Amino acid sequence: MENPAIRHLMVAVVGSVVVLGVAGCSTPEPALGGTTATVSLDGSDTGGAHAVRCRQTGWSWYIDTPEKENGFTAVLETDGGITAKSVDFRGFGGFTGSFWADNIGDAEVTGADGSYTITGTADGTFDDKPSDKVSAKFRIQASC
């Protein structure tokens, strides 16, 4: 004869495992709850607020679009003040190019606590003239 208390305990254990499994596999909320960025290239708006993912690992903040193509990734360093480390545009707003600290282009960043403005220049090309190398001015305002 089966003990009802054991059956209830088994149901509770299985239910807890399922809940923990789903919670463990779900995508975490963005850092500090925000998810958008506005971007301009050479003074032209790229289409209003864009969805972004923000995450912090150690002293580094990563801000990127969910799309790998036609997107961007920015990396900021917050150890001892905030600095821009890199910005990579991949066909975003018709531009493909990069800024890399102490190597390609230049950039500066202001802000704190997940709200950042990155301004600078990135070297690359515009889609309509892929053979013409340019230094495009950019501005990214991210709310992470």
In 3D space, the residue among 125, 27, 37 whose CA is nearest the CA of residue 74 turns out to be 37
Evaluate if residue 3 carries a pLDDT over 60. no
Q: Is residue 17 part of a domain?
A: no
Q: Which residues pair with 1 in a beta bridge?
A: none
Q: Is residue 13 part of a domain?
A: no
What the block records as the tokens of 87 is 């910005």
Q: Is residue 15 part of a domain?
A: no
What the block records as the tokens of 36 is 């958008």
Residue with tokens 């779900």: 26
Q: Is residue 21 part of a domain?
A: no
In 3D space, the residue among 45, 49, 37 whose CA is nearest the CA of residue 76 turns out to be 37
Q: Is residue 85 part of a domain?
A: yes
Region 68-73: mean pLDDT is 92
User: Domain total for the chain?
Assistant: 1
- The per-residue pLDDT for range 20-56, each reduced to its tens digit, is 333 344 334 444 445 899 999 999 999 899 999 999 9
pLDDT at 12: 46
Region 120-137: mean pLDDT is 96
Residue numbers of the domain that contains 63: 31-143
